[in-house]
Structure 1
Amino acid sequence: MVMMAESEPAHPLDPGAAPYGNFPNYYSFHPPEGRVKLLPPGLLLELLQRQDGVDQPLLALDVGCNTGELSVGLYKYLVQPLGSSHVRDNVHFLCCDIDSDLITRAQSSNPCPDSITFSSLDIMDASSLDALHNFLDRFGRSTFHIGFCMSITMWIHLNHGDHGLVEFLSRLTTLCDYLLVEPQPWKCYRSAARRLRKLGRQDFDHFHTLSIRGDMTEEITKILTRDGSTELIHCFGNTSWDRSLLLFKSIRPLNLPS
């Protein structure tokens, strides 16, 4: 999610009044299990362990985590895959969101504070990179094993334009060896703009000038793979709200513990 201007406070009871994606009750209409159930048991863990082995800490970055319910669901998926008796206890998540109120809620209900860290960060602000690298430094790494980008690409795109979307995805692929992306389809862009107009609010700065549009799953795949540094390795199908889950892999030399 992106920076919310102080002049436009959120109104929790009105979903249209969250033009930055910071819906206070988001997981009541997009429950975490709707994504997690699409991931084959143990697949992500197998890929990540193949990279570093079972004894190394596994690090994950969740960008735009809202109140954290999906972050917790993904953490549990990696710690103990469905149907497995093995529990991996060295998984560590850094979960960030621009909305400090949502982060406060996530922190207050965090079931695993030793393994899941919630932090108020704007991923589009270059200063946030210090916090991300400080987290990585604790484990002697320069990249996260995996990043999660779940239904936030639209908000970056609408508020930062085409260049902002490309910059955002480039930043994540630099920070993460694998990236799981859930792009919003173009119809969601139109709905978000329509909600603002209905409320008499100012339209998104970039909505009418975006040249990246149409099939956003295809467009985001093109952005991530066009320079040859990242490849699409799995598509896990669609959620019940018609969003694809796409797993990308960096094909640069993978990071090794120092």
Structure 2
Amino acid sequence: MEAANKTHQNDTVQPHKRKKQKEVAIFGNYRNYYTYRIDQGLEEDPRIKVMRKEWFEGKNCLDIGCNSGLITVTVAKKFGCEKILGIDIDSARVQDAYWNLRRIVKMSEKKKDQTVDKSKDDGTNGVTEPPEKTGRVESSGDSPDSYLFDRVSFQKDNIVLDWSIPGNKVYDTILCLSVTKWIHLNWGDEGLITLFSKVWRLLKPGGVFILEPQPWKSYISNRQVSEVASTNYKNLKIFPDQFQDILLDKIGFREIENLSSSLSGSKTGFNRPILALWK
């Protein structure tokens, strides 16, 4: 009887384990999206490796569907954008993006302090080579990356429905990575064409549009994420393998290059084409 009571007591103190609910993001606005896209051990998103400095250096850039802003900030830092704006439909992701921007700047400040401390230990008293010798010109702020606060910005916007194009506002380079499926499922073929048309109008002549479209099998996996998506999925007449022809023949882009041949390091299921299109 005593043994039975002990068993009963043990049963009552066992915590009830809740089954972790799968995150539902009807616009693709997943938290930590970039974290699970990248293989462990990589320092940066592999898509960055196929991008070219001349597309960004000293340029005014736009990142559509920036999510938590990691690509946006990395592009600004690595390639030296004059300005880059990241927009996302989810205000929570925009807040994450600003948090990541502050974190990255703070990390560079910490590395700078560690370098100074190390140089003091090795007898140089914190004296480093002047910029003309190193080729680096650092910000006068506390962090070598504090200039990013002036160059990188984020805002909540829906480019299909809300974002009106300013009369004279144009960009040298526009990024749209893994966004088309969510626009397509939520606003149908018309929404997709609206996206492509707005991008073309927002680009300067000679500007580059970097597009990563999701494949059709990805649509199948997400077609039931919402009732709207399910309905639109059944009515789609445009498919991802037609995007290139539409962008060239109907929207007006003059040249296209597939950048995917040198892409590696993405997790299974994310080996997608990356296209560069010129206006």
1:193–1:203 CA contact under 8 A, matched in 2: no
1:162-201 CA distance string (max 9 Å, x none) = 111011111111102220000000011011125x3xxxx5
CA distance in 2, matches of 1:185, 1:232: 21
Written as runs of structure 1 = structure 2, the 5 A alignment for 1:150-229 is 150-176=177-203, 177-193=207-223, 196=225, 202=227, 204=229, 205-213=231-239, 216=240, 218-227=241-250, 229=252
Greater helix fraction, Structure 1 or Structure 2: 2
What is the SS of the residue equivalent to 2:37? coil
CA distance in 2, matches of 1:22, 1:72: 18
- Which of 102, 116, 131 aligns to 2:152? It is 116
Q: Determine the structure 2 residue equivalent to 1:25.
A: 32
Q: Determine the structure 2 residue equivalent to 1:255.
A: none
Q: Determine the structure 1 residue equivalent to 2:64.
A: 63
CA distance in 1, matches of 2:34, 2:251: 35
Normalised by the length of structure 1, the TM-score is 0.71
- Cα distance, 1:210 vs structure 2: 0.5
CA distance in 1, matches of 2:182, 2:248: 21
CA distance in 1, matches of 2:154, 2:228: 30
Q: Determine the structure 1 residue equivalent to 2:77.
A: 76
Normalised by the length of structure 2, the TM-score is 0.66
Q: After alignment, is 233-242 or 26-35 more displaced?
A: 233-242
- Supply the AA of the counterpart residue of 2:82: V
2:60–2:172 CA contact under 8 A, matched in 1: yes
List runs of 5+ in structure 2 lacking aligned partners. 1-19, 39-43, 106-147
- Cα distance, 1:108 vs structure 2: 2.0
Structure whose CA Rg is larger? 2
What is the SS of the residue equivalent to 2:50? coil
- Which of 171, 176, 185 aligns to 1:144? It is 171
What is the SS of the residue equivalent to 2:278? strand
CA distance in 2, matches of 1:91, 1:157: 31
2:173–2:210 CA contact under 8 A, matched in 1: yes
CA distance in 2, matches of 1:70, 1:165: 22
What is the SS of the residue equivalent to 1:114? helix
- Cα distance, 1:153 vs structure 2: 0.3
Q: Determine the structure 1 residue equivalent to 2:87.
A: 96
What is the SS of the residue equivalent to 1:104? helix
- Cα distance, 1:246 vs structure 2: 0.4
Q: Determine the structure 1 residue equivalent to 2:13.
A: none
- Supply the AA of the counterpart residue of 2:73: V
RMSD of aligned residue pairs (Cα, Å): 2.3
Q: Quickly say closer, same or farther: Cα 1:208–1:227, change in 2 above 3 A.
A: closer
CA distance in 2, matches of 1:93, 1:129: 18
- Cα distance, 1:232 vs structure 2: 3.1
Q: Percent identity?
A: 28
List runs of 5+ in structure 1 lacking aligned partners. 1-11, 50-56, 80-89, 251-258
Q: How many residues align?
A: 200
